[in-house]
Chain A
């Protein structure tokens, strides 16, 4: 009888895991579709000073949100450089936009220095590195994918894969659109200007 209960528990766990796996796969694969449906992604993540920052406190501003990790020499600097260029080119309108870098590798990024990283690109960029649970919750809310991949050949033995898009959230907190990786700063700038 005890064995049977255990079997039920194990089978239930296996089914839950399978469903969760496909649900996750489906949600990341469906990213293009969700861009059309209105939703308000949210986050609550610690900044470099350890203060918890939430999506609600930025109501009234456009948010440019990018998920990445500071140990990423190719994709992340490209996007952050574009964001920095956009902020420079916005001039006085820069006050209407808050760029946010969300670390998907928060423990290592806090150790390496989050603030010096974002400031090297632009002082306006706010770096956030929350707990693992907060980070997963934010990623889920933005419907983005990230994963840690074991790689014995690189520093610390792992690297991250992630959705490299730049997400635009409106002043009311509603998702507006995604800029695909590699979108030139001028295009992001003119999109933003058309919304002011």
Chain B
């Protein structure tokens, strides 16, 4: 009884692990929504997230919106013949049974027209629009400029 009380107290006291929340819409599970601190508000911020399709129909991420930026877009960093560029991604496929990651060096949300600089520890909502599943709003957590991704290993997910 005492140990149960203690563990409950610890659970309540532990700060929610950053960028480790889980969101769902239809058969899609959205996790690890994060961003990096920006240097000022004049340069674009970035948005990364992981989407798992647990359903029986292929889906696709077709857009993002956020109050944090006036011009959010989906991009894909591609390195072809040693040249990196980042064309628009009109649609990011989320096939049945797969997890698709927007991650450094690959697909990413590009948040242009920031309302204010993003600081480590900030949290802002991002609405993802899927072709089939529709809209879902997730919380994106701002990690440090040098972060490679959220550390959710001890988050008990």
- Are A112's CB and B83's CB within 8 A? no
> Scoring A residues 118 to 148 as 1 if CB is less than 8 Å from chain B, else 0, what string do you get?
0011000000000000000000000001000
Contact residue among A116, A117, A181 (Cβ-Cβ distance under 8 Å from B79): A181
- Are A71's CB and B44's CB within 8 A? yes
- Are A84's CB and B110's CB within 8 A? no
A153 at the binding interface (Cβ < 8 Å) = yes
Number of interface residues, chain B, beta carbon within 8 A: 31
Nearest to B42 among chain A residues (CB) is: A112
| Complex CA–CA separation, A133 to B82 (angstroms) | 23
- Are B145's CB and A182's CB within 8 A? no
| Complex CA–CA separation, A70 to B42 (angstroms) | 10
- Are A74's CB and B146's CB within 8 A? no
Shortest beta-carbon distance, A42 to chain B, in Å? 21
| Complex CA–CA separation, A135 to B110 (angstroms) | 26
- Are B44's CB and A155's CB within 8 A? yes
Residues of B within 8 A of A31 (CB): 82
Shortest beta-carbon distance, A55 to chain B, in Å? 22
Shortest beta-carbon distance, A30 to chain B, in Å? 10
Residues of A within 8 A of B79 (CB): 164, 181
| Complex CA–CA separation, A85 to B43 (angstroms) | 22
| Complex CA–CA separation, A44 to B39 (angstroms) | 26
Shortest beta-carbon distance, A165 to chain B, in Å? 7
Contact residue among A71, A81, A155, A163 (Cβ-Cβ distance under 8 Å from B146): A81
Known: A77-B36, A81-B146, A81-B148. A161 touches B44 (CB 8 A): no
| Complex CA–CA separation, A70 to B39 (angstroms) | 9
- Are B86's CB and A74's CB within 8 A? yes
Nearest to A111 among chain B residues (CB) is: B42
Nearest to B73 among chain A residues (CB) is: A153
Contact residue among B43, B81, B88, B108 (Cβ-Cβ distance under 8 Å from A29): B81
> Scoring B residues 28 to 43 as 1 if CB is less than 8 Å from chain A, else 0, what string do you get?
0000000010111011
- Are B40's CB and A154's CB within 8 A? no
Contact residue among B39, B88, B113 (Cβ-Cβ distance under 8 Å from A117): B39
A57 at the binding interface (Cβ < 8 Å) = no
> Scoring A residues 77 to 116 as 1 if CB is less than 8 Å from chain B, else 0, what string do you get?
1100100110000000000000000000000000011001
- Per the 8 Å Cβ criterion, residues 96-114 of B in contact with A are 104-105, 108, 110-113
A48 at the binding interface (Cβ < 8 Å) = no
- Are A74's CB and B105's CB within 8 A? yes
B84 at the binding interface (Cβ < 8 Å) = yes
Q: Which residues of A contact B (CB under 8 A)?
A: 28-29, 31-32, 70-71, 73-75, 77-78, 81, 84-85, 112-113, 116-117, 120-121, 145, 149, 153-155, 159, 161-165, 181-182
